[in-house]
Structure 1
Amino acid sequence: MALDADEEILQDFLVEAGEILENLSEQLVDLEQHPDDGDLLNAIFRGFHTVKGGAGFLQLEALVNCCHSAENVFDTLRNHKRRVTSELMDVVLEALDNVNSMFEQVREREEPTPAPDTLIESLMELAKPEDEASQPASEPEPAAEAGSEQPAATDEHGDITDDEFEQLLDALGDGDDSSDAGAGDKAATDAPASGQGSGSDDDEITEDEFEALLDQLHGEGQFKGAPAGEEAAGKPAGKSEEKASDAGDPDLISDDEFENLLDELHGKGAGPSVTAGKPESAPAAKKPEKKPEPAKAPAPKPEPKKDEGKAAPAKEAHHPPAETTVRVDTSRLDDIMNMVGELVLVRNRLQRLGSQSEDSEMHKAVSNLDVVTSDLQSAVMQTRMQPIKKVFGRFPRVVRDLSRSLKKEVDLLMHGEETDLDKNLVEALADPLVHLVRNSVDHGIEDPDVREQNGKPRKGTVTLSAEQEGDHILLSIKDDGAGMDPEVLRRKAVEKGLYDEDAASRLTESECYNLILAAGFSTKDQISDVSGRGVGMDVVKTKISQLNGQINIESVKGKGSNIKIKVPLTLAIMPTLMIMVGGQSFALPLVNVVEIFHLDLTKTNIVDGKECIVVREKVFPLFHVKRWLVPSQAGGEPPANAHVVIVAMGTRQVGFVVDQLIGQEEVVIKPLGRALQGTPGMAGATITGDGRIALIIDVPSLLQHYG
C-alpha cells in the first residue's frame, strides 16, 4: 500500500500507537479484575480514541472503524450504562487483536484488512445500554465525549492547550444558553475573530475573544435587563473594585478567574456552582463596556500582549517534554556499539603493552583510557537498554485467555518489570518466556476443584519476576501448582529410551526435573493444542543456550515449581576466560565458568565408560578439549597434571582439561567468515590483547557435537 502521508508523520503514528496498543492489552486484562476502576476505563477509552484519531489523519478507515466501535463500548461503560463482564471482555479483546493485526499491516505499508462485520456488530450491541429504555439519554453524548477527552490533551499540571482553547471557542458559538446575551456574545466573539484573522496567528486568541470567554463563564444572561445600571446601583462593587485595583486594569484576568476558566473547560460540572460562588464580579463591569464600544479593543495596544503573556506559559509548559527525546534508528546504535567494541580491543592491546613498559606516564595514560572506555561502553549500552516490561506486558493476556480456555482460575503477579536489558535480549526472550508461562498454567496449576480438595485456594498464582545480578539478569517463573514427582520423571525417561533403569535410578532430583528440557520429553499423556508434544521446553533450552544463558528448575511435589533463567545483560561485549590449548588461544564465556583448579590427572575414575573426577563428593565428566579443538597435537602421552575448568551448560556441569590459563578479558564477538560459519562449538572470534585472533567457544554446541 502506498500511504500518501509524510513518512515522518507515519513514523510518529507508529511509535505513539504502538506504545498505546502495548499498554491496552495489559489494561484490558486489569479491567476484568477491577471492573469499577473509573480511571482505568477512561485510560482505555482515551487509548482507543487516540489510535482512532491518528488512523483517521492517515485515512486508515478500517482501523478507524474498529477503534471507534470499541471506543463507543467504553463510553457506555464509563457512563455506568453497562457492566464489565467476561463475555464483553472476550469481544473487546478480539477487537484489540484485530486492531493489532491492522497496525502490523500499516507498519508493513499494507492496506489494513477491515475487522469482520460480526465483530463490529457485536461491539455496536455492547455499546448500547443494558437498559434499552435509557437509550435516548445517550444521544447527546458527543458533548460529553468532547468534555471527557480533554484531560488527555492537557498536561499533568492542568495547563490548557491551543486545541482546548479552540474547542472552548466552538462551544461558545454553539452554547446551550439561547438568551439574547448569548447571541450577543457570539457576535462579539465572531467579529473580532474575523477581523483579526488576517493579521494574527490563527492559534492566538484575541483580547475580545478572551473577554467573551469570561462573560460566558460568569453567566451573561443576568445582564439582560439594565446593563448600564448595575454600576450606578452599586451592585457588589467591592470585590470587583478590589480586583480592578489589584490588576491595574479591568481588562486583565485574575488568577481566580483563570482557575474557574479551567474548571469550566475540563467539564467538572462546575458551571452553575462557579457562577454561584462568584456572582456579578469583575466581568459584570466589563460586559456593558464591550457592547456599546466594540471598536475599543485596538486602543490599548499593550494589553493583548499582557493577555497573551497569561496564555503563553500554558503553551510553553506543554511543549518542552516533547523536545527531551530524540528518535534514533537502532542500526545507528548498533554501529556505535561496534565502534565502542573496536575501542575496547584497542584498550586491551594498550593495556598489554603498558604492562610491559616501565614508563609511569604511559601507565597513567593507559589507566585513563581504561576508565574513559569503560564509561563510554556503559553509556552506549544504556542507550540499547529496554525495560523487560516490553516482554512482560503480553503475559496478562496470555494467562487470561489460557486460563479461560482450560477453565482454571489463575492470578498473574509480576515483579521487576523496570529491569533493563539489551534490546536484542528483550526480543529473544519473548518466545521462551511465553512457553514457560503457558506451561505453568497448563501443567502446573491444578483445576479449581482439585486445588480445593488439596486445601489450596481455588485460584492459582503464577509469579513472573526479573532482577539484575551483577552483569546478568535473573528471571523466575514460579507457580503454586502441583509440582513435579521425580519418580514419574524417571519412569518417563526410561519409557522414552533416554536412560536405562539403572542409570535413571541414580539420577538426583534436580537431574530428574531437568529431564523436561530434553527433546520430545513430556509428562502429558494426552496431546492438546496447548501442550503434550514435548517440543516447547526443548525450544526454551536451545534459545537460552544461544543467549549464553543458564536454566535451572526447582520443584516440590504438591507445592509448585520454580524455573530460573540467567542471561547476560548484553550480547555485544562478553567477559571471557582466556585459555591456551595446543599453543592456540580460545575464549570461554565467563557465564559458563563455575570454578578452576589444578588437577592430578592420575586420580581420575571411569564411570559409565567416561573419565570423571570427584570434587567435594561431586562427580564431573572430564573432557580433553585438545582432542576436539587441536586434534593434530592430541597424540602422545597425556600430562600428569593439568588445569581443569568446570563449565556449566544449563544445570549440567563438566570439566574441560586445558593446557594454560591466561586470565579474564572482555572481548567483542566478531562473526566467523563464510568459510568457517557453522563450525561446531564455535560462537565467533575476537582479537586478544596481544593482537592474536582467538576463537570463542560455544559450550553447549561443543558438548553436543563432541561430548
Structure 2
Amino acid sequence: MDPDILRDYVSEARELLEQAQSDALALECAPDSDAVLASLFRAFHTLKGGAGFLDADALVEWTHHLEDLLDKLRSHVLPVTPTTIDVILKGLDVIQCMLDELGRGVYPNPGPSDLGQRICALASVEDVHTSPPESASENVRPIAEQPTGVESAESGTLQAWQKLKPDGKVGMYVERVSEGKDKGAVCVESASKAGDDAAFDTISDEEFEQVLDALYGHKAPGVVPPAERRVMDSQVASTTVLPGALPQATAPAPVTSVAAVKTERPSSTSETPESTLRVESARLDSVMNQVGELVLLRNRFLSAMQTTIGEHEDLARIAREMDLTVNDMQSTVMRLRMQPCKRLFQQLPRVVRDVSRQLGKRVNLQIVGEDVEIDKKVVDALSAPLIHLVRNSLDHGIETPADRVMLGKNEIATLRISAVHLGDKVRIEVSDDGNGIDAQQVKQKAVEKGLIGQEEAARLTESDAIDLIFRPGFSTNDVVTEYSGRGVGMDVVKKTTQSLRGRLYVYTNLGTGTTIAMEFPLTLAVLPVLYLRLRRDVYAIPISSVSSLIDVDPQRLYQVQGRALYQAGHEQIVPFVDLGEILHQRPIELGTEPTDGILTERGLLVVSEVLGNEDSVVKPIDFLSESHWYQGATLSGKGEVVLILDIANLKHSQAEPKRGVA
C-alpha cells in the first residue's frame, strides 16, 4: 500500500465514520428521514470505494453488507428499529477496528462472523408487496459501431456504455479500468461532432451508485481519495464521466473526496469551491513554536530599545509596525489550531445511548455550543475525560426512572453538555438533573478508604469535601461495575484539566443535580501574563485570572476561624493570599513593606509590586519539586527566566509548610 494514499484515506475515513455514527443516532430519533438515510448510505458507499482502491477486501465486504442493509432501510422494505440501529452501530465499531489496522499498515482481518450474519439476515429481508426494482444495468447496452472519442493506448482498457435518459439525451458511462492502470479517474467523450455547445447532464447520487454497483459489483470504486487522483495521460484526456452530447475537447471535473459526507448538487452559478489543504498537526505545532519564539524576540527587542526608541521617530514607527505584524501572525497561526467543539462532542450521543440502556435509565441528551472553537490540543486531550464525566453522571448522578417518579421528577432525565466563550477562555460544562453530591457521604467514604482521617474530615467545608471526588482511589460505589467502583477517572479529569492550564469547578445541589465545569484558555501556545515582584524575585500570573488591581488597606483584613479574609468591596469578602508567606515563608508586612493587591478568581493576591503585562510562551518545568505551584516558565522581555504562578494551587498551599524559592 502506498503510505501517502493510505494515510489520507484513513484520516478522511475516520472523519466519515464519525459522521456516519452521528447519522445512525439521528436516524433512531427520526426513522422516516430520507435525508439521513441517504447520508448514511453514501457514507458506507464512499468507505467501500476507498477501501476497494486499497484492495482492503475485508473492509470492502463489510461496508458492502452494511450498504445492503441501508438500501433496505431507505427503500422502506425494512423498518428502522432500535435493533437495526444497534447492528449498524456495532458494524461501525468493526469498521473503526479495521481502520486502526489499516493505520498500522496491515490489511484488516474479516469482521466477526456472528455480527456479519445478523447484518446479512436483516439485509436479505424481501418486501413481498413490492416488485423488484429495475436493475441499474437494464436498458444499458454496449455502444456498437459508434466512435466513443476515447483513444486507448491498450485495447480493452476502457469499455463505454450508453443509456437513454428520460429527456432523450444519451449518457456515456465507463465500465472499467483494467488492472495495473492508474485508477485516478476516466473520461468518455461523445461521438457528436456537430459543433453544438457543450451540454452537461447531472445524474443523481442514487443513479451514480446504481451504475457503479451494476458495473463493479462488490468492489465498486466509489469515490476517489484525493491522494490517489492522477491524470491518465496515456489512456484518456480528462477526468470524469460526462453524460450527454459533448464536443471532443472537455475539461476535467473534480472528483469528490472520501471525507465529503454531504454531496451538493452543482449550482447553476459558477461558484469556485473553497480549497483546503490537509496538513500534519506536527507541522502546525512547529510553526506555532517558531511564532512563539518570534514573540519572545519581539519582546526582548522592544525592551532593549525602550531607552532610545523615543529619540528616533523612524525606529519607533518600525517597532510599532513590527509589533502589529507579529501580533497578526500570531493570531493567524493560532486560528489554524482551532477546532470546533463538535469534534469533541460528537462521540457523546453514542456513549449516552449505550450506557443509559445498560443501566436501565432514560436520558434526554442536550448538546449546546458545537460551533465554539478551542485549541486542537484541548480537543485531543479532553476526549477521554469528557466521556468519563458523562458516564459518571449517568451512573452516579441520574436516578432510575422509578426513583425519579417517586421523587416527583420526570422519569426522563436531562444531561446537558455545553460550550461557551468567556472572553479569552472556553467553558465546557456537564450538567445533570440527578440526585446531586452528598458531601457527608463523600467524607464518610474518604475516611473508609483511608484517604483522610476523622479529624481532617470534621474540619472540611462542604466545598473541600466535594473536592475529594478528584482524589485517586476515591469512589462512592462499593461494587465494581463496568462504569464505576475502581476509584479511577475523576483524578484523571483533574490532572488533564490542569495540564491544559484549565480550571475545574463543581456546583451541586442535593436532590436537584450537579454541574462540573472546565475552563480552558482559547489557545495554549501563547499566554498573556502579568509580571509582578515579590521582594527581589520576579514572577508572572496569567492575565485571564486577574479581575482587577487594588490598593491594599490593612484595616480591611480580618481573621475568621483561622482564615485570612479581605473586604475587597462593600459586599465582597475574598480569601487573603500572601505570596510572601507561601514562597518565602515570611509574610509581607502591610504598612511597612511596599505592597500591591491583585484581585483574582481565587482571592486577593498580595505582592510587592505589579510590573506590567506581556505575551509569553510557556515552557514546562516538571523538574521542580514545587512544580504544582507553577504553570510553567517563560522568558521576559529582558531575557530573564520567570516562573508563572498557578493561583489555585497557591491558595491551597497557603496553610502548608513551605520551603523558600531563590
* 2:647 corresponds to 1:685: no
Residues 53-64 of structure 1 aligned to structure 2 (within 5 Å): 53-64=49-60
- Local SS of the residue matching 2:382: helix
When the two chains are superposed, the root-mean-square deviation of aligned CA atoms in Å is 4.2
What are the residue-to-residue correspondences of 1:103-502 with 2, within 5 Å?
103-129=99-125, 143-144=135-136, 175=139, 186-188=143-145, 191-193=146-148, 196-197=151-152, 218=168, 252=196, 262=203, 266=207, 307-308=246-247, 312=251, 324-356=275-307, 357-359=309-311, 360-485=313-438, 488-489=441-442, 498=452
Offset of residue 309 of structure 1: 7.7
Which has the larger displacement, 67-76 or 476-485? Answer: 476-485
Aligned counterpart, 1:507 = 461
Aligned to 2:36: 40
Q: Distance in 2 between matches of 1:217 and 1:127?
A: 34
Q: Report the alpha carbon displacement of residue 522 of structure 1 after superposing the two structures with TM.
A: 3.8
> Residue type of the partner of 2:278?
R
Per the alignment, do residues 321 and 71 of structure 1 end up closer, same or farther by CA in structure 2, a change over 3 Å counting?
farther
Does 2:50 correspond to 1:50?
no
- The answer to whether 1:555 aligns with 2:508 is yes
Answer whether contact 2:471 2:490 (CA < 8 A) is retained. yes
State the Cα distance separating 1:638 from its structure 2 match. Answer: 8.5
Residue identity opposite 2:420 in structure 1: E
1:641-670 deviation line (CA, Å, top 9, x unaligned): 43344555xxxx355442222122210113
CA distance in 2 between partners of 1:485 and 1:679 (Å) = 32
Tell me if the contact between 2:169 and 2:245 (Cα under 8 Å) persists in the aligned partners: no
Describe how 1:13-24 pairs up with structure 2 within 5 A. Answer: 13-24=9-20
Preserved CA contact (<8 Å) 2:579 2:587: no
How far 1:336 sits from its partner (Å)?
A: 1.4
2:310 partner letter: E
- Give, in whole Å, the separation in 2 of the partners of 1:253 and 1:268: 28
**Deviations 1:113-164 (CA, angstroms, capped at 9, x unpaired):** 3222112111111212166x579x66x78x45xxxxxxxxxxxxxxxxxxxx
Q: In the superposition, relative to structure 1, how do residues 647 and 60 fare at CA in structure 2: closer, same or farther (>3 Å)?
A: same
Question: Could you tell me whether the CA contact under 8 Å between 1:493 and 1:504 is conserved in 2?
Answer: no
Shift of 1:574: 0.6
How far is 1:382 from its partner? 0.9
Tell me how far apart the structure 2 counterparts of residues 99 and 322 of structure 1 sit (CA, whole Å): 30
The answer to whether the Cα contact below 8 Å between 1:408 and 1:447 also exists between their aligned partners in 2 is: yes
CA distance in 2, matches of 1:411, 1:23: 21
Identity %: 35
The letter for the 1-side match of 2:356 is S
For 1:564, what is the secondary structure of its paired residue? strand
1:331-359 CA-partner distances (Å, limit 9, x unpaired): 22112111211221122223334543423
Q: Is the 8 A contact 1:478 1:561 kept in 2?
A: yes
Amino acid at match of 1:691: G
Whole-angstrom distance in 1 between the partners of 2:280 and 2:61: 31
Cα contact 1:348–1:689 (8 A) shared by 2: yes
Partner SS state of residue 619, structure 2: coil
Say if 2:363 and 2:414, in contact at 8 Å, map to a contact too. yes
Question: TM (normalized to structure 2)?
Answer: 0.76
Q: What is the SS of the residue equivalent to 2:323?
A: helix
Deviation string for 1:457-496 (max 9, x for gaps)? Answer: 3322212111222211111222233334555556656766
1:568 to 505, 517, 521: 521
Match 2:645 to one of 697, 700, 703: 697
Cα displacement (A) at 1:391: 1.0
1:537 deviates by 2.2
**Residues 195, 446 of structure 1: alpha-carbon distance in 2 compared, 3 angstrom cutoff:** closer
1:95-125 CA deviation, whole Å, 9 max, x = no partner? Answer: 2111101111211223423222112111111
Question: SS of the residue aligned with 1:358?
Answer: helix
> Which deviates further from its counterpart, 120-129 or 514-523?
514-523
AA matched with 2:430: I
Q: Is the 8 A contact 1:354 1:366 kept in 2?
A: no
1:510-562 Cα shifts (integer Å, max 9, x gaps): 55554533444444454422123443222212221221211222233443322
Q: Is the 8 A contact 1:73 1:124 kept in 2?
A: yes
Secondary structure class of the residue paired with 1:70: helix
TM-score (norm 1): 0.72
Cα deviation for residue 417 of structure 1 reads 0.9
* Partner Cα distance (2:385, 2:206) in 1: 49
Deviates most, 562-571 or 494-503: 494-503
Q: 1:621-632 to 2 correspondence within 5 Å?
A: 622=576, 624-626=578-580, 629=583
1:85 equivalenced with 2:42 (yes/no): no
The alpha-carbon distance between structure 1 residues 502 and 123, as it changes in their structure 2 partners (threshold 3 A), is closer
Q: Is the 8 A contact 2:533 2:607 kept in 1?
A: yes
- Contact 1:55-1:63 at 8 Å conserved across structures: yes
Q: CA deviation at 1:47?
A: 0.9
User: Is residue 336–residue 380 contact of structure 1 (8 Å, CA) maintained in 2?
Assistant: yes
Structure-2 residue corresponding to 1:224? none
CA contact (8 A) 2:6 2:102 kept: no
Q: Deviations over 1:234-266 (max 9, x none)?
A: xxxxxxxxxxxxxxx9774797xx65x747994
More helix by share: 1
Structure-2 change in CA distance of 1:252 and 1:562 (3 Å): same
After superposition, the Cα gap between the structure-2 partners of 1:681 and 1:429, relative to the gap in structure 1 and judged at 3 Å, is same
> Which residue does the alignment assign to 1:286?
none
From 647, 665, 676, the equivalent of 2:614 is 665
- 1:347 partner letter: R
Distance 1:530 1:58 in 2: 38
> Which string of whole-angstrom CA distances, capped at 9 and with x for unpartnered residues, describes residues 210-233 of structure 1?
xx756886399xxxxxxxxxxxxx
User: Larger deviation: 356-365 or 373-382?
Assistant: 356-365
Distance 1:125 1:678, change over 3 A: farther
Going from structure 1 to structure 2, the CA distance change for 1:95 and 1:313 (only over 3 Å counts) comes to closer
**Distance in 2 of aligned mates of 1:686 and 1:547:** 16
Counterpart code for 1:469: L
Cα gap change, 1:535 to 1:654, in 2 (>3 Å): farther
Whether the aligned pair in 2 keeps the contact of 1:587 and 1:694 (CA below 8 Å) is yes
Shift of 1:9: 1.6
The 1:342/1:563 distance shift into structure 2, 3 A limit, reads: same
Distance 2:597 2:521 in 1: 24
Which ranges in structure 1 are unaligned for 5 or more consecutive residues?
145-170, 177-181, 221-248, 270-304
Q: Highest Rg: 1 or 2?
A: 1
Q: Kindly state the Cα deviation for residue 376 of structure 1 after the two structures are TM-superposed.
A: 0.9
* Partner amino acid, structure 2, of 1:324: S
CA distance in 1, matches of 2:292, 2:274: 30
Tell me, what secondary structure is at the counterpart of 2:39?
helix
CA deviation after TM superposition for structure 1 residue 17, in Å = 0.7
Distance 2:553 2:618 in 1: 34
Residue 12 (1) aligns with residue 8 (2): yes
Aligned to 2:69: 73
Contact 1:395 1:434 in 2 (8 A): yes
Work out the CA distance in 2 between the residues paired with 1:38 and 1:336: 44
**C-alpha distance 504-362 of structure 1, shift in aligned 2 (>3 A):** farther
- Whether contact under 8 Å (2:38, 2:74) holds in the other structure is yes
